[in-house]
Amino acid sequence: MNWLKEYDDITMNGLQSHEEFKEISSGNFSWTVSGKNGEETNIVMMNDISRKCIDSFIDLIDNDIIKIKPTTLFIAMIDGNVFKVPVAKSIRNYKTPRWIPMLIEKGKNFKKY
């Protein structure tokens, strides 16, 4: 939240490259994209994070404090480390893991936070 107070957006991988974020969010979970019917897609947004971190993101999104949207690989590369798997070209079921670079932006209720 402090980063977004200063800047308009940050990529998820950029956020994960900050030591402070790593300290409070590290875990054994992956935040993945579900398909339209809730099925597993094998697409990862964030890796090696805690369940509490994922739940916090979902709560912030549900309350329109932040929003997330796909971004380009180029933008993600500027912000930080990238996953060593191919980038997902669309939301569908993949046989092998894929990564989707995501951008975190301020939601309409961000100022209330």
DSSP per-residue string spanning the chain: -HHHHHSSEEEHHHHHTSHHHHHHHEEEEEEEEE-TTS-EEEEEEEEEE-HHHHHHHHHHHHTTSEEEEE--HHHHHHHS---SSPBPSSSS--SS-EE--EEEEE-TTGGG-
Residue 8 has a pLDDT of: 86
Asked if residue 41 is part of any domain, the answer here is: yes
Asked if residue 79 is part of any domain, the answer here is: yes
Quote the number of domains for the chain: 1
Asked if residue 80 is part of any domain, the answer here is: yes
- What pLDDT digit, counting tens, does each position of 87-102 carry? 999 889 999 999 999 9
Asked if residue 113 is part of any domain, the answer here is: no
Asked if residue 6 is part of any domain, the answer here is: yes
- What pLDDT digit, counting tens, does each position of 52-83 carry? 999 999 999 999 999 999 999 899 888 877 88
pLDDT grade for 18, boundaries at 50, 70 and 90 = confident
Residue 42 has a pLDDT of: 93
> Which range marks the domain in which residue 81 is found?
2-106
Asked if residue 112 is part of any domain, the answer here is: no
Asked if residue 86 is part of any domain, the answer here is: yes
Asked if residue 49 is part of any domain, the answer here is: yes
Query: Which pair of tokens denotes residue 5?
Result: 């107070």
